[in-house]
């Protein structure tokens, strides 16, 4: 993946750029001809902005939470149901203003880093889907959707019939549109990047004569491919042993999870490298896990965890390798650092988890028929528990 997602100059990985700018501001002397706004140096400007953002966040974060999503039109007549549905934050959100940067950047990570053409594509899709298609389905009461909240990720069941589960209109449409968009992503990658992918497999750092970053990085001795293969095999074997002896899921399904993660990493990695938009595959692996492991919630959740975590951690590693590529850090140093941090993080997280489970009473509940813990993927459990097609809305 380094040949495709790290070395080429087309793969920008915009999320790294602010950190690089910050490090250069902190450690590089300013040039005498550097233009200064109001006679401020870059360091002073950075400090002022940080202090200002810290002070301002007290408004939407603590003093006035309404600023997070300010539904000003809804306040004209708060008791009007239709107006609340159309303009409210929990409804379709027409005319809602957001003054909380954390909320604004939740979907795009940071709109500043996302290219304009990508943001326009998202805007057009948002208007057509959220402000046109979904309202039509809701107000025409398609599939009895007016009986449920407009925007809610929870599960609903009619009184006296808990085996049937219904979902809100935004949940169902969003879920199906994601599946459709992922199919489009596969086609787009093949048609627009197929030749590029084949070409990059035969390229090395030294052959990229028109890329100054690659020319400088070629002076370092690269990490051989077999080193990554050995690390992968060790982690894979540990995963197989854990799944088998802990009775989480059959170990041989790890071949499927790794294959899914590898394919999705290539597809979504190109998008993230160019637009800074990460396409989360949890929706797909949740559905697959539920189909494969019916009536086995623990196995389904394990399947989701391995498939999603493998892709997510590979994303993080590739992003860091690109950061080292920009900063001219030795690939061996980058890999060694990431490997040490990963091992330490796994040990620490496992220790903390064991400590919490043993010391906090009622943190997780275990019975002969059910078990639950905080922050679990409830959809994975629901899909795995479905043996009669109980998700009526899907």
Give the per-residue pLDDT at 18. Answer: 87
Q: What does the alpha-carbon distance between residue 286 and residue 292 come to, in Å, rounded to a whole number?
A: 10
3-state secondary structure of 371: strand
Residue 262: name the closest of 334, 217, 314, 227 by CA: 314
Ordered per-residue pLDDT tens for the chain, 394 residues: 788 888 888 888 888 888 888 888 888 776 655 566 667 777 788 888 889 988 988 888 888 888 888 888 888 887 888 888 888 877 888 878 888 887 777 666 778 888 888 888 888 988 899 889 999 999 998 888 888 888 877 777 776 666 677 888 888 888 888 888 888 888 888 888 888 788 777 666 666 656 777 778 878 888 888 898 999 999 999 999 988 888 888 999 999 999 998 888 888 888 888 888 888 888 888 888 888 887 787 888 889 888 988 888 888 889 898 998 888 888 889 889 989 998 998 899 889 888 887 887 777 766 555 556 655 555 655 555 554 444 444 5
- Maximum separation of any 2 CA atoms in the chain, in Å: 76
Give the per-residue pLDDT at 240. Answer: 92
Helices (H), the chain: 17-27, 42-56, 58, 81-87, 101-104, 116-128, 134-139, 169-201, 212-217, 225-245, 254-275, 282-292, 297-327, 331-359, 378-384
Q: What does the alpha-carbon distance between residue 82 and residue 85 come to, in Å, rounded to a whole number?
A: 5
Give the per-residue pLDDT at 210. Answer: 67
Q: Which of left, alpha, beta for 325 (phi over 0: left; psi -120 to 50: alpha)?
A: alpha
């Amino acid at each position: 993946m380094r040949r495709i997602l790290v070395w080429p100059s087309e793969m920008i990985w915009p999320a790294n750029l602010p950190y690089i700018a910050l490090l250069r501001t902190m450690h590089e002397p300013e040039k005498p001809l550097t233009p200064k706004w109001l006679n401020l140096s870059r360091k002073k400007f950075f400090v002022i902005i940080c202090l200002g953002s810290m002070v301002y966040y007290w408004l939407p974060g603590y003093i006035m939470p309404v600023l997070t999503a300010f539904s000003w039109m809804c306040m004209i007549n708060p008791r009007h149901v239709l107006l609340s549905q159309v303009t409210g934050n929990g409804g379709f959100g027409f005319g809602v203003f957001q003054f909380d940067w954390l909320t604004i950047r939740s979907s795009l990570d940071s709109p500043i880093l996302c290219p304009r053409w990508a943001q326009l594509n998202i805007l057009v899709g948002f208007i057509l889907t959220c402000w046109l298609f979904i309202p039509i389905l809701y107000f025409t009461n398609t599939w009895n959707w007016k009986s449920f909240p407009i925007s809610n990720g929870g599960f609903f069941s009619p009184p006296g019939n808990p085996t049937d589960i219904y979902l809100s209109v935004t949940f169902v449409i969003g879920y199906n549109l994601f599946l459709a968009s992922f199919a489009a992503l596969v086609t787009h990658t093949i048609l627009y990047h197929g030749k590029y992918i084949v070409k990059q497999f035969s390229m090395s750092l030294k052959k990229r004569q028109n890329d100054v970053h690659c020319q400088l990085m070629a002076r370092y001795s690269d990490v051989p491919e077999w080193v990554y293969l050995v690390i992968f095999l060790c982690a894979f074997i540990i995963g197989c042993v854990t799944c088998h002896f802990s009775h989480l899921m059959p170990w041989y399904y790890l071949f499927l999870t790794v294959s899914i993660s590898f394919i999705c990493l290539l597809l979504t990695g190109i998008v993230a490298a160019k637009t800074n938009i990460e396409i989360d595959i949890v929706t797909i692996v949740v559905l697959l896990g539920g189909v494969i492991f019916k009536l086995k919630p623990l196995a389904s959740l394990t399947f989701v965890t391995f498939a999603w975590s493998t892709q997510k951690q590979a994303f993080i590693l590739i992003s860091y390798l690109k950061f080292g590529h920009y900063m001219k850090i030795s690939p061996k140093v980058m890999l060694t650092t990431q490997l040490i941090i990963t091992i330490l993080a796994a040990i620490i997280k496992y220790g903390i988890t064991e400590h919490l489970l043993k010391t906090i009473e009622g943190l997780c509940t275990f019975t002969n028929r059910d078990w639950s813990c905080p922050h679990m993927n409830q959809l994975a459990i629901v899909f795995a528990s479905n043996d009669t097609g109980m998700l009526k809305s899907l």
